[in-house]
Amino acid sequence: GDSVTQMEGPVTLSEEAFLTINCTYTATGYPSLFWYVQYPGEGLQLLLKATKADDKGSNKGFEATYRKETTSFHLEKGSVQVSDSAVYFCALIFIYNQGGKLIFGQGTELSVKP
Amino acid sequence: DTGVSQNPRHKITKRGQNVTFRCDPISEHNRLYWYRQTLGQGPEFLTYFQNEAQLEKSRLLSDRFSAERPKGSFSTLEIQRTEQGDSAMYLCASSLEEKYQVAKNIQYFGAGTRLSVL
């Protein structure tokens, strides 16, 4: 079945370090891809999205490129801040065929130390 | 825009009791989704509504679970005869569905209801 796999956490970085969180997917069709972020005590928030191959989503210094050939959507940020500490979820969705339900990875916890 | 609101935020119950959660979506959104999230895992889809019609239910939604959206606005999720395995965070999301407009099919999540079954 369709699924999303993320690198295991927690990931601990020092402030201003480079971040990569790996995400790969298995899908029978051509999904849209998302990164959601969950701060402590809050609901999931959309961070960025990409709807077709080679699209790059970006927001708040985070970027991810939809790579169809490697079925990947890795999240990157050049310089993390303490405020980026949160749990990050990669997700896919089939808008046209499957009603729009999101399929999530297991989440990767990021902790940024000053 | 007040966002998606879920009540209660926390619910502690004894095994065998019934519980009901409420979700108020963003007012103009026609789709409403329920997900369940256990510790250390990503959310898993349970069911969704378009207006008042329940269009899809996951196999995770056993017959002890029932969801309604009677007037196409707020929704309730009821769990009957709760079991310890039902302990989880229950998330609600809403979206404005416009066919063929992927960019607008963004789901906005509430903060969730955390259920603990003792």
Tell me how far apart the alpha carbons of residues A38 and B94 are, in angstroms, rounded to a whole number: 17
In the block, which residue shows the tokens 């089939």?
A: A94
pLDDT, residue A29, reads 81
pLDDT, residue B101, reads 60
* pLDDT category of residue A41 using cuts at 50, 70 and 90: confident
Residue A40: cis peptide before it, omega within 30 degrees of 0: no
The stretch B41-67 carries a mean pLDDT of 92
Structure tokens at A70: 């490697």
pLDDT, residue A98, reads 56
Backbone angles phi, psi at A65, to 5 degrees: -115, 130
A-interface mutation test, from B2, B35, B45, B104, most A Cβ less than 10 A away: B45
pLDDT, residue B102, reads 57
In the block, which residue shows the tokens 């509504």?
A: B49
**Chain B residues whose beta carbon lies within 8 Å of the beta carbon of residue A89:** 42-43
pLDDT in tens, A45-61: 999 999 889 999 999 99
- Please list the residues that pair with A85 across neighbouring strands: none
pLDDT in tens, B9-52: 999 999 999 999 999 999 989 999 999 999 889 999 999 999 99
Q: By the 8 A CB rule, do B58 and B45 touch?
A: yes
| CA–centroid distance for B37 within its chain | 11
Q: Does residue B95 register a pLDDT over 70?
A: yes
Half-sphere exposure of A71 (CA within 13 A, CB side): 14
Tell me how far apart the alpha carbons of residues A49 and A92 are, in angstroms, rounded to a whole number: 10
pLDDT, residue A8, reads 87
Residue contact B43–A104, C-beta within 8 A: yes
* pLDDT category of residue A94 using cuts at 50, 70 and 90: confident
Q: By the 8 A CB rule, do A108 and A7 touch?
A: yes
Tell me how far apart the alpha carbons of residues A109 and A92 are, in angstroms, rounded to a whole number: 19
Q: Does residue B2 register a pLDDT over 70?
A: yes
Please tell me which of the candidates B40, B44, B97 has its beta carbon nearest to residue A100: B97
* pLDDT category of residue B94 using cuts at 50, 70 and 90: very high
3-state secondary structure of B103: helix
Q: What is the mean pLDDT of chain B?
A: 91
Percent of chain B with pLDDT over 90: 77
* pLDDT category of residue B103 using cuts at 50, 70 and 90: low
Residue contact A89–B42, C-beta within 8 A: yes
The stretch B84-110 carries a mean pLDDT of 84
Q: How is the beta sheet containing A56-59 ordered, strand by strand?
A: A19-21, A75-77, A62-65, A56-59
Residue contact B106–A46, C-beta within 8 A: yes
- The secondary structure of residue B64, as a DSSP letter, is T
Tell me how far apart the alpha carbons of residues B78 and B115 are, in angstroms, rounded to a whole number: 12
